[in-house]
Each structure stands twice: as structure tokens, then as C-alpha cells.
Chain A
Amino acid sequence: MRDMIKMVVVLTVLSSLSGGLLAAIKNSTEDRIEGQVLQFVQGPAILKIMEGASNDPISDRFTITAGDEQTNFFVGKYNGTPKVVAFETNAAGYGGPVGIMVAFDVETNKIKSIGVTTHNETPGVGSLVEKDENFKKQFVGLDVTFEPKVNKDGGSIIAMSGATVTSRAVTAAVRKAQVFYEQHQSEIKDKAKSFTG
């Protein structure tokens, strides 16, 4: 009986100490972790597509809720006025989802730039999407109503050689972003304007 009590006491004390320690560490690192996620997951793509912005697009952000999903929007200011918004969408590629950050010009409703956030494509083939600027440039300037398609599907986007699936995924992700932007246009523009000044 004494053994039994000892076992229970030891296990309880150990578990509660562990729980307490972890809760304390969790609380003290929470904010830092959130910042790191934004900085390293979406950050590089955001900074690249908003080159020349006068603010820090990662800290100037707002969210829009559609259904159950919350989307983060990042605002880029040029000459003091919020001119560009960027947000992330994804579509299935060869090795899982390909995440694309798409930036829209809120004045002209045209795509300003796109960047890759996450992917798991074949090294040396689909993974080249990270660096292949010529491929990504093809999306720049497309109007929000224009549906891009890769050349194999009868469209104008020239797919990266040997990586049609990845190219299709990027195209599909951009299309998703266009549709979302069109549907929530007024809300996006209103919220972006609030960053004026």
C-alpha cells in the first residue's frame, strides 16, 4: 500500500512540475514565436514582392474572415499611401501544397507581383519555381478578371520546363487569389486605406 501511494505521489508531483514549467516557458515565448512565424514563413516573400515600400509590410497587416478562415493581408505603402496588398493562397503541386503570396495594386486591380512561400517540389525540377523570376514575371500586370492558364491548357503562361504540375499549381493559386480579391474588393480597399498616413 505504501508503495502504491508513493508511486501516485511521485507521478503526480512530476507531472505537475512539468506542466507548470512548460506553461511558464510557453507564456514567455508566445509573442516571439508568433513574430518568428511571420518573419520566416511569409516574411521573405512579402519583403521581396513589396520591394521599395516605405513601411514594414509585415507589421502593417489586417485580417479578413471568410467562412471559417482568416486570411492575413499585408499592406505596402509607396510614397505614404497604401498602394499594394498581399496575401497567401495555395494549390496542390507535385509534392504537396505550393504556397503563393500574391500582391495586388489596389488602384488598378492588377497583380503587382507574386512570390513563393512554401513548397515541397522535386529538388532541381519543380523547386526551381523559387528562383525562376521569368516564370513568375508572367503574372505581373494581369487584371483581376483575367484567368491565367498554362500553355499546355491553352493559356498564355509558359510553364517551367519539365515542371508542368508545379506551374499549374502556381497558376491555380494565383487564380484563387484573384477570385478572393474580387469577392472582397471593397472590404480589402477600406481596410487598406485605414493605414494611410
Chain B
Amino acid sequence: MAKTISQEFIKGLWTEIPPFRLVLGLCPALAVTKSVENGIGMGLATTFVLLCSNLLVSLLRNIIPPKIRIACFIIIIATFVTVVELMMQAYTYPLYQALGIFIPLIVVNCIVLGRAEAFAFKNPIFPSVADGLGIGVGFTLALGALGAVRELLGSGTLLGHAMFGPGFQPFAFMVEAPGAFVSLGLMLCFMNMLGKR
């Protein structure tokens, strides 16, 4: 573990960026990326949970008995997910509506539990926070990018602003389920072409 804190952060943005390099968290990546706004909103909600759970797990790593660590992780993660759920209902209701059941489902997002188990439980606080933040920001960027592609082609808009003239016929396939799978598949292919991990 000779990595510096900044390296822990940066790895989440490129070498381990989910869902491209770490093929985890596919469901939200497919479901909520109909638009950039939803993609980024989901990414930020996940980042918050990831950051808080990594921080708390790392803080408590000497107190939690290893035998029941998974149960403790689940309680910690579920608590923060509920916090996000309530906050989004109170302050960004339209986004909460758009993301629907995928907010409570952050709890079963393998990325969050995976980071708690593989990283935060074994590392001190600062690297854990950097790790959580890095992976979270990476996830947010990835969802934003996927959302941009789908929104641009599927609705002809970007962040709600029309990008093409009125003659543009939206490519409705892209906002439906098949488009989600195909565009994520193509983006993965693109990432593979760009470089090895």
C-alpha cells in the first residue's frame, strides 16, 4: 500500500472507473441514463453513499468484529441510502421521481459494498475517503457521459436544451431499454480500444 492519497483518488477516474473497468453497478448505469441530468444525479447520490460508508467503515474497522462485518456494512450503507432518499424527496423532488426505485437500490449496488469490503475495512481513513470519492466521481462521469450520448440521440437535447434544428427526428430507440444496453456495450468497447488497465 505504497500509493499516495491522490493516487487512490485518481485510480477511480481511469484505471478502475466503474462501470467500464470494474463491471459493477450496471443496473443504475442502464436504467437512469436517459438524460445527462439523471445520470449525474444518480452518480452524485451514489458518491455520497460511497463516501460516507467508506469513511464510517474505515473509522470503525477496529471495532467491528470480522464475523459480522457484512451485516454491519449493510446497516451503515442502508442508513446513508435512506438519508439520501429523504433528502432528495425534500429538496430535489423531480430528480427523485425520475430515479424512482433506483435510489433505494443503491443499497444493493455492488460498487458500494465492494469498496467497503475490499478497501475501507483494511485501510485508514484518508485513503478510504479518497478511494470512495474517486470511485464515486468516476461513476458520476461515466453515467453523465452515457446519459449525454443517449439524450443527444434519443431526444435531440443536451441538459434539456435542443441541440439540433426542429427537423431532427429523435432516435427513440436510444431512450428505451435496447438503446441502453447497446450504447453501454459500445462505450465499453471504446474504453477497451483506448487502453489497457
Contacts and interface: CB of A to CB of B under 8 A. Distances in A.
Interface stretch (A35-43, A67-75, A141-149, A178-186): A35-43
**Chain A, interface residues (CB within 8 Å), range:** 20 to 34
A39 B93 contact: yes
A22 B175 CA distance: 35
B25 interface: no
Interface stretch (B83-91, B143-151, B184-192): B83-91
Given A21-B79, A33-B90, A10 B64 contact: yes
A39 B82 CA distance: 22
Contacts of A40: 93-94, 97
B75 A18 contact: yes
Contacts of A29: 86-87, 89-90
Contacts of A33: 86, 89-90, 93
Interface in A92-127: 123-124
B194 interface: no
A152 interface: no
A25 interface: yes
Contacts of B75: 11, 14-15, 18
Given A6-B65, A29-B90, A123 B83 contact: no
B71 A11 contact: yes
Given A40-B94, A123-B175, A14 B87 contact: no
A55 B43 CA distance: 39
B63 interface: yes
B170 interface: yes
B79 A22 contact: yes
Nearest to A39: B93
Interface string B76-106: 1011001100110111011001000000000
B72 to A, nearest CB: 6
A3 interface: yes
Interface in A2-38: 3, 6-7, 10-11, 14-15, 18, 21-22, 25-26, 29, 32-33, 36-37
Interface in B57-78: 63-65, 67-68, 71-72, 75-76, 78
B65 A26 contact: no
B68 A21 contact: no
Contact of A25 (B68, B76, B86, B172): B86
A21 B83 contact: yes
Contact of A7 (B65, B76, B93, B170): B65
Contact of B93 (A14, A22, A37): A37
A22 B82 CA distance: 7
Given A10-B63, A25-B83, A25-B86, A124 B93 contact: no
B41 to A, nearest CB: 15
B65 A10 contact: yes
A29 B89 CA distance: 9
17 contacts: A7-B65, A7-B67, A10-B63, A11-B71, A21-B83, A25-B86, A29-B86, A33-B86, A33-B90, A36-B91, A36-B93, A37-B93, A39-B93, A40-B97, A123-B172, A123-B175, A124-B170
Identify the 9 closest CB pairs spanning chains A and B, nearest first: A36-B93, A29-B90, A18-B79, A32-B90, A33-B89, A40-B93, A7-B65, A33-B90, A7-B68
Interface of A: 3, 6-7, 10-11, 14-15, 18, 21-22, 25-26, 29, 32-33, 36-37, 39-41, 123-124
Given A10-B63, A22-B82, 15 more contacts: A3-B65, A3-B67, A11-B71, A14-B76, A18-B79, A21-B83, A26-B86, A29-B86, A33-B86, A33-B89, A33-B93, A39-B93, A40-B94, A41-B97, A123-B176
